[in-house]
Amino acid sequence: MIEFYMFRQVELGWAGGETGAAPRPVAVAPAVAPPRADIECEILTDLGAVEALVPQWDALLDRSPCNRAFSSPWWFLASCRVMAGRLPYLVVARRGRELAGVLPLWVEAASHTAEFGVLLSDYNDVVADAAAPEVAAALLAFVCRAPRPFTRLLLRRLRPGSCCLQALPGLAPAAGRHLLDSRICPYVRLPASLGEYLRTRGAKLRKVLRNAGNRAARQGAAVRELTPADLPGGALADAFLRLHDERFGDKSCFQAPAHRQLAAELLPRLFAAGRLKVFGLLRGTELLGIDLCPLGPDSLCVWNGGFSREAASWSAGKLLIAAEVACACKLGLAELDLLVGVESYKLEWTTRLRGLADLELAVQP
């Protein structure tokens, strides 16, 4: 059974609807408390200044409810470097000398719109301690009234428990805001083991996995988690793009030069830092399939991958996902998150669906 989790209408004024329905703006309940006066905010537009913030940002990320890859400083920095026509606009909150929160935006010059400055990210948010919702409220209030080179503030792909949405009651009553229906993310609530999970699925999936494993084994191939030593330096991005291209061809989202540059700059750093797990289908040392899996605070996320034409006949995608379920169970994580999109191959594994929101805040003229 698939459960459909959306925002509760009483709390956020959410107008849920059928999957795929057109977005509908909805007024949100008025605020109940102003941001804390002991929080000071500032804006950084120089990437050198952002780089100096990396150690504190990274430490704060580990205390936040944010995805450990999508909300990392490296994803923001790499995105800003590869995208022309975007002005970095990082809003920082501090309590004394301590970094308390980060709102990683950029401004699109052509449309004068501020959005999260992260390419190809499935989840976005303010980076702040989950126990301090006043920090996100202070950041949102500040960015709506500070001098700025934009006329529109649009925050996309927010999870129901995101810092941004939890902060809404802390904004001033006059602050206009709208929520829009956004995308759907299938995910798996995990039991203790892969075997226990598969017993909850249909006999067809178990049979397909058994046959796929046997076919791969006859070819001397198997799935395992890879380490940075297996794909050092730029080898990870090269291998990923090669297999992704072979799998998707001209339908790949990595056809855009900026997206390929993002992969080349970002993936090795996230992999080395332990923010990204990589699973490979190998025959000896030959890599035939790959999946890139960012870590969440309590989840393993299946982001992007690819496999060769030969491996497609072995149901390589299913073998990779089965290995990822097994890994997430072994780590004691709560979810395997299949991220944005309700493709049929995801729904075969899915136990629940998560709705995301886009939030537009009114900025002062």
Residues 256 and 302 in one domain: yes
Domain presence at residue 242:
yes
- 271 pLDDT above the threshold of 90: yes
Mean pLDDT of the chain: 89
Residues 158 and 216 in one domain: no
Residues 132 and 224 in one domain: no
- Higher pLDDT, residue 16 or 300: 300
Residues 171 and 208 in one domain: no
Task: Supply φ then ψ for residue 337, to 5 degrees.
Answer: -100, 120
- 16 pLDDT above the threshold of 60: no
- Sign of the alpha-carbon torsion through 71, 76, 79, 84: positive
Domain presence at residue 349:
no
Per the structure, how many domains does the chain have? 2
- 19 pLDDT above the threshold of 90: no
User: Percentage of the chain surpassing pLDDT 90?
Assistant: 82
**According to the model, what pLDDT value does residue 249 have?**
94
- 26 pLDDT above the threshold of 60: no
Domain presence at residue 338:
no
Distance from C-alpha of 260 to C-alpha of 335, rounded to nearest angstrom: 29
**According to the model, what pLDDT value does residue 243 have?**
98
- 192 pLDDT above the threshold of 80: yes
Model confidence pLDDT, tens digit, residues 27-48: 343 333 445 569 999 999 999 9
CATH no. for residue 150? 3.40.630
Residues 228 and 315 in one domain: yes
Residues 74 and 152 in one domain: yes
- 64 pLDDT above the threshold of 90: yes
Distance from C-alpha of 325 to C-alpha of 335, rounded to nearest angstrom: 9
Residues 172 and 211 in one domain: no
Distance from C-alpha of 32 to C-alpha of 137, rounded to nearest angstrom: 11
Residues 203 and 169 in one domain: no
CA angle 210, 211, 213 (to 5 degrees): 65
Domain presence at residue 308:
yes
Domain presence at residue 347:
no
According to the per-residue pLDDT averaged within each range, which of 34-43, 53-62, 179-188 is highest?
53-62
- 174 pLDDT above the threshold of 80: no
What is the DSSP code string of 179-196?
EEEEEEEEEEE--SSHHH
Model confidence pLDDT, tens digit, residues 284-323: 999 999 999 999 999 999 999 999 999 999 999 999 999 9
- 341 pLDDT above the threshold of 90: yes
- 17 pLDDT above the threshold of 50: no
Domain presence at residue 346:
no
**According to the model, what pLDDT value does residue 10 have?**
27
Domain presence at residue 343:
no
Model confidence pLDDT, tens digit, residues 201-238: 999 999 999 999 999 999 999 999 999 999 999 999 99
**According to the model, what pLDDT value does residue 37 have?**
64
Distance from C-alpha of 329 to C-alpha of 212, rounded to nearest angstrom: 21
Which residues neighbour 34 within 8 Å (Cβ) at sequence distance 6 or greater? 141, 170, 172
Domain presence at residue 32:
yes
Model confidence pLDDT, tens digit, residues 98-153: 999 999 999 999 999 999 999 999 999 999 998 898 999 999 999 999 888 999 99
**According to the model, what pLDDT value does residue 130 have?**
86
Residues 165 and 276 in one domain: no
Residue 152's DSSP bridge partners are 113
- Amino acid code (one letter) for 148: R
Residues 198 and 325 in one domain: yes
- Range list of H helices, 222-338: 235-248, 257-273, 309-312, 316-330
Residues 158 and 214 in one domain: no
Residues 146 and 273 in one domain: no
**According to the model, what pLDDT value does residue 236 have?**
98
Residue range of the domain that includes 97: 3-183+355-361
CB 103 within 8 A of CB 126: yes
CATH no. for residue 314? 3.40.630.30
**According to the model, what pLDDT value does residue 27 have?**
36
